Structure 1
Amino acid sequence: MLALTNATVITGDGRTLLARATVLAADGRITGLRAGSGVPAGARVLDLEGDYLLPGFINSHVHGVTFGPLFASGAPPLAEEAIRRNLVRHLAAGTTTVLSVDGFALPEEVAEAQHLSPLTIKTSAGLTPAALTAAQAVDGAGLTERHLAASLKEQVEAGAVAIGEAGSGHTLGGGGSEYMYIPRRIKEETGVEISPAQARALKEAALGKELDPAARDEAALQAALAGAGLAGRLTPARAQALIAACVLPGLKPARRSIAEAAATARHFGLPLIAHTAPPSLAAVLAAARAGTRTIAAHTNHDSFTAGAMLAAARALKRAGAILDGATFDSFGARRTTESPANLVTLLKAGLVDLITTDYGGGFFDPLPLALKAIVGAGILPLPAAVRLLTAAPAAALPGLAPERGRIAPGYIADLTVLARADLARVRYVFIGGRQVFSSEVTSGITSSSDV
């Protein structure tokens, strides 16, 4: 038996904080939660010295953690080293369960990744005809004959717990196009490397927020070209043509794929995870209004203005959608998302049902960094913020983390310890009661006979 003593326990229910408590675990499950530090004889004891003990984080929107094609654009999978690095980063951030929304992954490509990490890796299913059409219109280089011949039914029967990600920034002209496809195409044409922010400025000047060539803003496009060091290298007309070639071919099939995925989700009785941004909003709303259990991914997407985002979030809530707020890299690297302002706005409005990282071009924030910022700014009390990372995603996706997400007797002992002096610092992670990460030189675990 493991006894975690002298802990400040956040149970995951959104309200409860217990000081100087003890959590007992045996055979992979939580067997006790009690006040004080008394432990059974023979237990292995870890004195947490007042640090926070919470359920392991459940991150229900991640990319790059399986050997399957990447994103809804079907890009080539990451190398094993990069997959392993992403899994380590999630684990070291206190996450114990992840949901890969790279929905083209085959069952064997998920199983192969599971061997790399003690993390529980679940997956979504996305092999619908329109999704494959959208992927091949934009990229599709990671799709093999096996992917094209496989069925979504096969993915579901192998254990997929959601349908999605339906649409993505890569096929719907969002962040994926800004950090991946537009910079790549610009470099091929000019030799100039541009940042995601510069790509967005070019894209919105060339096509507007709704991605319509008729919305081209000549003055803004000239300014964006100059800001990216492309003045004299690209004419406005050529820049618009390059950007349109990256963005427009996937739009129609990607929007169609959301309706297709919604119908599939209803058929299998699974949640739908749908890319939510201005170009896809109407399709996501239609899915929710049709009675699909819809998770509106990254409702705080920074392609929304604050006003449009709030209006969209309220409409989605009225339709019954579950609103996901993504951190991207907005609290840390800020390479793809320059500010967490949209997430903060939604949190203050009470319009976030769960928090995930998404991918942020591979620079995704550690969840404790976002937790520290949210609690430190007084946006939410700690127990309420922890619920959005634990019990809330477990409830939103019933197949993702059953019997996880709370600290209570009978639940699986997936647990994370955060330093009381610095919420962003993960001290320990336990999965099924087994220590799988420690920031300490030694584990600090002793026998109760030594205490």
Structure 2
Amino acid sequence: MSTLIHGGTVVPGTGNTVLESGAVILRHGRVADVLERWDRDQTFDGEVIDASGCVVMPGLINSHVHGVTPGPLMPSGAPALPDDEWLANLDRHLFAGTTTVLNLCGFCTMDQVREADRRHAVHVRGATTHLPEAERAARMADGRGLPAQSGHSTVEKMLDDGAIAIGELGGGQTLGGGGQDLSYIPRAIERASGVRVHSAQARRMKEAVLGRFIDPDACDMAELRAAAAEAGLEGQIALVELRKIIADSVLPSVEPALNGIREGVQAAARFGVPAILHSAAATARVMRELMDGTLGPQTPGPKANVIASHANHPSHTPAEALALAKLGRDHGWAAEVSVFDLLHRKQTVTTREHWDVLLQEPGLVDVLATDYGHEGHHDELISAVQDVAEHGYRSLAGAVAMATSAVTGLIPGIAPNGGRIEAGRDADVVVASSEDFRDVRFVFVGGVCVVRDGRLAPAARQ
């Protein structure tokens, strides 16, 4: 099957080229040709798509996703999602022009990653956190999705079986972050009081007990009293008990999770693969330690390829996020910013200040990603691309590259023949409205149309 896409603004993904009214020919699963224009009087033996008023770009590559396989969820090893939920998460990625994802639920097996890859048109790739301390942290925070016996696999075995990176090292579930606010703290409080608090209330109480940097000595009982009253807990539970519930939910997994980050960066250096590390206020200290080349007390380590994920994490202040990202750049680290739900949905992340302050710094941010919004409803990666271009943080060509070729440059195994619209490359191509990139008209994976006129085509699921 051959397809001609013409008349749109073709952005090949190289970071420096835009063809204002270009044409792309797909044939036999590859990009056959990229032309500066197509004469409408010419004939073409195949499907012809008029992309006037649209932008044509490579299939987007999302290097930070969760909930896209039938395996354990998140760095806490929580129970797997039902099939219909993880498949729906992949549907949402595909609807929005993402054709390749890197699963950062690092306790999945590669068989589980391959099952997701087989059952859905989106290319699903795998990372690993099969490290002793990371697993210990997961079991302390949750671990219900993990095998009963510890040490069922190792990073080396996973890499041999096809994993392409180590990560996500750390996470909000094991380091007292958003995962605790969304799930574990509210669940523990409800068991004790019968009252279900929402994530913002849980976060306020957690920070009253442990501060932003997860410090047991940072407790402010007056603030905890005010936060508990706001959450409707006054008279339902004693403050001393509430403090203990929060501390017991958060603290046991923190130190092993930090040790797991150290283990993971050591392993990345040893095996020559990228390490993707959870950037947040709770990990700032260990990140600085690792940047300085200390992989443990007085233990110099080899250089690792490290990506600081969601460098715009809202647990930082904007100034802290900027300073840490600059320090990382000075030490050769890459920075990813995640869109979370800060552009449109604004349920869990309601400020874009961190996003803006990092992106407006020239050359500081390398790639764009989504992370995982509540129940999978984060903003779309393609809307992040448009936002970066419209705010002038990058050119359109540069913004598209941050979600395509720049990702393949940092993580070589993620899409070895993708990320660009060039002759001979995989025919993963997206056609979206120039006015609103979220209005995705067509998506091709391997030259097969999997989204047509904004609807999933039969080939989207196997």
Q: What TM-score comes out, normalization by structure 2 length?
A: 0.92
User: CA 1:441 to 1:203, structure 2 compared with 1: closer, same or farther past 3 Å?
Assistant: closer
Q: 1:109 aligns with which of 107, 112, 115?
A: 112
C-alpha separation in 2, matches of 1:168 and 1:322: 18
Report the 3-state secondary structure (helix = DSSP H, G, I; strand = E; otherwise coil) of the residue aligned with 2:269: helix
Q: 2:312 aligns with which of 300, 312, 318?
A: 300
The residue type equivalent to 2:452 in the other structure is S
Question: In the alignment, which residue of structure 1 is the partner of 2:389?
Answer: 375
Alignment of 1:125-140 (within 5 A): 125-140=128-143
Greater shift, 347-356 or 145-154, is seen at: 145-154
Alignment of 1:206-221 (within 5 A): 206-221=209-224
Question: In the alignment, which residue of structure 1 is the partner of 2:367?
Answer: 354
Deviations, residues 364-412 of structure 1 (Å, cap 9, x unaligned): 1111232333333344332221111111111110111112111111211
Contact 2:127 2:167 in 1 (8 A): yes
Contact 2:13 2:397 in 1 (8 A): yes
Greater shift, 197-206 or 137-146, is seen at: 137-146
The residue type equivalent to 1:326 in the other structure is S
- Alignment partner of 1:239 is 2:242: yes
The residue type equivalent to 1:198 in the other structure is Q
Report the 3-state secondary structure (helix = DSSP H, G, I; strand = E; otherwise coil) of the residue aligned with 1:37: coil
User: How many angstroms does 1:203 deviate by?
Assistant: 0.8
Question: In the alignment, which residue of structure 2 is the partner of 1:342?
Answer: 354
Q: 2:345 aligns with which of 320, 333, 350?
A: 333
- Alignment partner of 1:322 is 2:323: no
- RMSD of Structure 2 on Structure 1 (CA): 1.7
Alignment of 1:47-446 (within 5 A): 47-145=50-148, 148-290=151-293, 291-350=303-362, 351-361=364-374, 362-440=376-454
C-alpha separation in 2, matches of 1:283 and 1:360: 25
Report the 3-state secondary structure (helix = DSSP H, G, I; strand = E; otherwise coil) of the residue aligned with 1:320: coil
Contact 2:103 2:124 in 1 (8 A): yes
- Alignment partner of 1:43 is 2:49: no
C-alpha separation in 1, matches of 2:31 and 2:43: 14
Deviations, residues 115-165 of structure 1 (Å, cap 9, x unaligned): 321110001011110111111111111111477422222211111010111
C-alpha separation in 1, matches of 2:342 and 2:21: 34
Contact 2:318 2:354 in 1 (8 A): yes
Contact 1:104 1:147 in 2 (8 A): no
**Percent identity between the two aligned chains:** 38
Question: In the alignment, which residue of structure 1 is the partner of 2:299?
Answer: none
User: How many angstroms does 1:317 deviate by?
Assistant: 0.9
User: CA 1:332 to 1:187, structure 2 compared with 1: closer, same or farther past 3 Å?
Assistant: farther
Contact 1:287 1:294 in 2 (8 A): no
Q: Which runs of 4+ in 1 moved over 6 A?
A: none
User: How many angstroms does 1:442 deviate by?
Assistant: 11
User: How many angstroms does 1:288 deviate by?
Assistant: 4.2
C-alpha separation in 2, matches of 1:125 and 1:14: 30
Deviations, residues 264-301 of structure 1 (Å, cap 9, x unaligned): 11121100011111211232333344311001011110
C-alpha separation in 1, matches of 2:257 and 2:131: 11
C-alpha separation in 2, matches of 1:368 and 1:303: 24
C-alpha separation in 2, matches of 1:115 and 1:287: 37
C-alpha separation in 2, matches of 1:188 and 1:32: 61
Greater shift, 124-133 or 408-417, is seen at: 408-417
The residue type equivalent to 2:428 in the other structure is D
Question: In the alignment, which residue of structure 2 is the partner of 1:32?
Answer: 33
The residue type equivalent to 2:131 in the other structure is T
Contact 1:166 1:275 in 2 (8 A): yes
The residue type equivalent to 2:4 in the other structure is A
Contact 1:288 1:294 in 2 (8 A): no
User: How many angstroms does 1:439 deviate by?
Assistant: 3.0
Report the 3-state secondary structure (helix = DSSP H, G, I; strand = E; otherwise coil) of the residue aligned with 1:181: helix
Deviations, residues 13-48 of structure 1 (Å, cap 9, x unaligned): 222211111111111111211122146641321111
C-alpha separation in 1, matches of 2:454 and 2:337: 31
Report the 3-state secondary structure (helix = DSSP H, G, I; strand = E; otherwise coil) of the residue aligned with 2:438: strand
Contact 2:69 2:86 in 1 (8 A): yes
C-alpha separation in 2, matches of 1:141 and 1:394: 33
User: How many angstroms does 1:86 deviate by?
Assistant: 0.4
Report the 3-state secondary structure (helix = DSSP H, G, I; strand = E; otherwise coil) of the residue aligned with 2:266: helix
Contact 1:19 1:50 in 2 (8 A): no
Q: What TM-score comes out, normalization by structure 1 length?
A: 0.94
C-alpha separation in 2, matches of 1:184 and 1:177: 9
Question: In the alignment, which residue of structure 1 is the partner of 2:4?
Answer: 3
The residue type equivalent to 1:203 in the other structure is K
The residue type equivalent to 1:311 in the other structure is A
Report the 3-state secondary structure (helix = DSSP H, G, I; strand = E; otherwise coil) of the residue aligned with 1:222: helix
Deviations, residues 76-125 of structure 1 (Å, cap 9, x unaligned): 11110111110101111100000001111112111222232111000101
C-alpha separation in 1, matches of 2:181 and 2:405: 33
The residue type equivalent to 1:163 in the other structure is I
The residue type equivalent to 1:161 in the other structure is I
Deviations, residues 399-430 of structure 1 (Å, cap 9, x unaligned): 11112111111211111111022222111111
Deviations, residues 315-361 of structure 1 (Å, cap 9, x unaligned): 11111111010111112322221122211111012321101100122
Q: Which runs of 5+ in 1 are unaligned?
A: 444-451
